[in-house]
Amino acid sequence: MLIAAELVILFSFFFYLQRGFQSAAVSAQLLWNDWGWLIGFIGFGLVVPFFLELKGVIKGWSSPVPIMLASGLVLMGGYLLRHYFMYAGVYARPW
């Protein structure tokens, strides 16, 4: 259930960004207005693997395919997280 912890940390981080400096708010706005972030990372990288693993914990799987699918989606989500964090980084002068 590490995915659930990642969801909580991620959403608390974004609530913090919205109330922080202007550059942080712009970064958060860039992410939440991008379909690749919402569908790719949030949807297929976190939510779908979370429900696949939740069903596996509750009822179990008869084949290893859903577990491998969830693992692949988590890896894709990890890449998308880093990609979009670099994309949304806003340069702010240090003064």
pLDDT tens per residue, range 6-18 = 888 888 888 887 7
Q: What is the DSSP string of 10-74?
A: HHHHHHHHHTS-HHHHHHHHHHHT-HIIIIIIIIIIIIHHHHHHHHHHHT--SSSHHHHHHHHHH
Give the pLDDT confidence score for residue 46 in this predicted structure. Answer: 92
Select the more confidently predicted residue: 89 or 33.
33
What pTM was estimated for this model as a whole? 0.79
Give the pLDDT confidence score for residue 7 in this predicted structure. Answer: 84
- Report the distance separating Cα 79 and Cα 75, nearest Å: 6
- In order of 4, 55, 61, the CA distances from 73 in angstroms are 15, 16, 17
